[in-house]
Amino acid sequence: MEKTTITLPFRPVYPSPAGLIVSVDEAGKPNIMTAGEVFNIGLKEPAIVGIALRKATYTHSLIVKTARFTVNLPTAAILDKVDLVGTVSGRNGLDKFAEFGLTPLPASVIDVPIIAECPVNLECRMLSVTEVGDHDLFLGEVVAMHVDSDKVGDNQRILIEKVDGLLFAEWGYYRFGEKIGDIGFTRRLPRPR
């Protein structure tokens, strides 16, 4: 197979989940932004997530000041709202919940709302922020996780096939695909000789 060298890669690791990040100002007024750089860092004890934000964003300034945020994982059903939220800044006082028809719910541990229309919500306390290239990397300890009850299976596992989540890749939105195997499935197969 012939390869082409990409000299200026954009999002070289793909896809990544689309996330709606909610932060608050010092008076408690919430803001929402769409983010494409949302990922796991530590899986448990404690669970830690990372989000990468440009310094120029309003959300960046709010999280630096308040050290808390929620990560809300949307579905394809609200793709239009996800995209709209990402096209305007809340810096001018715009209430993005009201403007784009999203429902704030009180979080259980921190005083930053979660989004009702998102099936998975993470409440995070900021652990650190590190400058990395054109973005800053925020690490947040997940202090509470909420999942729509109809999307939780045995052992409190998320039923991914019911989530219909959104992914970012190459300037586009994609939805989750089909499950094609369980981790470790090859242990049950005969070993090639």
Alpha-carbon span 18 to 71, nearest angstrom: 10
Q: Tell me the pLDDT band of 94, cut-offs 50, 70 and 90.
A: very high
> Is residue 37 domain-resident?
yes
> Is residue 11 domain-resident?
no
* Distances 60 to 4, 15, 95, 148, 179 between C-alpha atoms, Å: 36, 23, 17, 28, 35
Tokens 């909610």 belong to which residue? 22
* Per-residue pLDDT, 178: 84
Q: Where is pLDDT greater, at 42 or 129?
A: 129
Tell me the whole-structure pTM to 2 decimals. Answer: 0.93
> Is residue 35 domain-resident?
yes
* Count of structural domains, the chain: 1
Average pLDDT over residues 11-21: 90
- Rounded to the nearest 10°, the torsion over CA 123, 103, 129, 171 is 120
> Is residue 126 domain-resident?
yes
> Is residue 193 domain-resident?
no
pLDDT, one tens digit per residue, over 177-188 is 888 888 888 888
